[in-house]
Structure 1
Amino acid sequence: MKQRYQVTVDVHVILERADQVLLCLREGTGYRDGWYCLPSGHLEAGETVFDCAVREAQEEVGVAIDPRDLRPATVVHHLSPEGHPRIGVFFAASRWYGEPVNAEPAKCASLTWAPLKELPDNTVPYTAAGIELYLSEVGVGVHGWPELATT
């Protein structure tokens, strides 16, 4: 009997301020250190994607988001260069409570506000793909799949 396909679900939060997005510079994680990403993390058992977005924003950048202020941005079916599939659920928010701070200095070197349409060259490609799909108003896209890649 074939084993059922299983995939990791990541949840990403696009915190927008005017035409800028908040990015976290990865450090000490062992994955893409020195690259920018969004506040994000893995969906945990018993948690909704909304709960995860709220939790990750609080844990990583110290802001509180009312789940009603999360707007679905896009979904990305990602295949890592190592061949590991993931589903990324991206939310956008332009309203939150508190000032963003680096709440996880062991995993993040710094925070920066970057132009939403001009991300730094060292933005994690998966992150950049999600933001590009969001800006293009594409509801669901793929990234990293050799024959299907659209971003």
Structure 2
Amino acid sequence: MTAPDAHRPSPTESLRSAGTDPLILVVGVHLVLVDDAAVLLGRRRNTAYANGMWHLPSGHMSPGERVTASMTREAEEELGIRIAEADLELVHTLHHLDADDDRSRLQLFFRPTRYDGLVRNAEPHKCHALRWWPLDGLPGTTVPYTVHALAEIGRGRCLSTVGWAA
């Protein structure tokens, strides 16, 4: 039994002592565009992460931004398409421990129910090419957690983890 005057660590203090800090959780947003069993991927260029690899159109939340606003902003910046926030469906959440920097990342995967405009490579300085790939034939140079998330979405699973000890 704990004495009434004993200091009990707050949940945040307990997390910090365990080596994690919820205040620095990185949130990534990913757009899953599927057409005829093919998914749109971009080949990354001039990027610090996964340069030269295929990945879903994606980005990070900015401070003070709603997660859905973040996804619509990224879709317009990268693909030149407009998506209403209400037209985004969250199809998967991945809690990812990044082996490169040991940071905890929450990766959110959205599918639009509709969008306006024609898909185009609006950031050629960051994306070498856009291409539709069969879901059962992704290139070997696809970002591994992207492959994982797409497989989980195909199984109808809405939550998974990658990089954490079993």
TM-score by length of 2: 0.82
Q: Which residue of 1 aligns with 2:144?
A: 125
1:15 and 1:66 mapped to 2: Cα distance?
Answer: 15
For 2:75, what is the secondary structure of its paired residue? helix
For 1:130, what is the secondary structure of its paired residue? helix
1:18 and 1:71 mapped to 2: Cα distance?
Answer: 18
Q: Is the CA contact (8 Å cut-off) linking 2:89 and 2:113 kept in structure 1? A: no
1:23 CA displacement = 0.5
TM-score by length of 1: 0.90
Alignment of 1:8-87 (within 5 A): 8-82=26-100, 83-87=102-106
1:146 CA displacement = 3.0
Count residues with an aligned counterpart: 147
1:94 CA displacement = 5.0
For 1:126, what is the secondary structure of its paired residue? helix
1:116 CA displacement = 2.1
Q: Which residue of 1 aligns with 2:4?
A: none
Q: Is the CA contact (8 Å cut-off) linking 1:16 and 1:94 kept in structure 2? A: no
For 1:77, what is the secondary structure of its paired residue? strand
For 1:74, what is the secondary structure of its paired residue? strand
Say which structure is richer in helix: 2
Structure 1: which 5+ residue stretches go unaligned?
none
2:86 and 2:36 mapped to 1: Cα distance?
Answer: 19
Structure 2: which 5+ residue stretches go unaligned?
1-8
1:7 CA displacement = 1.0
Q: Which residue of 1 aligns with 2:5?
A: none
Root mean square deviation, CA, Å: 1.5
What is the aligned counterpart of 2:135 among 92, 116, 123?
Answer: 116
For 1:97, what is the secondary structure of its paired residue? coil
Q: Which residue of 2 aligns with 1:139?
A: 158
- Find the structure with the greater CA-based Rg: 2
